[in-house]
Structure 1
Amino acid sequence: MSKANLIRTWFAGATVYTCIDLSNRITDQYCCGAQWPNFVGMAIMIAICWAARSKLKELS
């Protein structure tokens, strides 16, 4: 596994974990179990990964 692949994998994993965990915490603490923060978190996660894809492809 090259360093570029390791960085891409780490970035995607960290983004997914952070967005899911943050949306779960917001749901539990502020929204009384509502599901809309989870959907917003997923949309943000997809947007971050999609926007960073072109820059991460430049790594070699």
Structure 2
Amino acid sequence: MTFISRAARYVLRKRVRTAVLFIVLTIITASMLSATAVSQAAQHEAGQIEKTGGRRIRAGQ
């Protein structure tokens, strides 16, 4: 019996545990991707502010 067939049989036997683990890992991965996107956006905006030379920006003008 190969490694892959044993893994497939285990997953089929433990369906609920596998589903819960999959959901948890999906949530963790989505959180990490979101945090990375927010961090990169903040760095980008900080760079844009530095380029403007710290000038004040008024709303509506």
Q: TM-score, normalised by structure 1?
A: 0.47
- Structure 1 or 2: larger helix share? 1
Larger Cα-atom Rg: 2
Q: Higher relative contact order at CA 8 Å, sep ≥6: structure 1 or structure 2?
A: 1
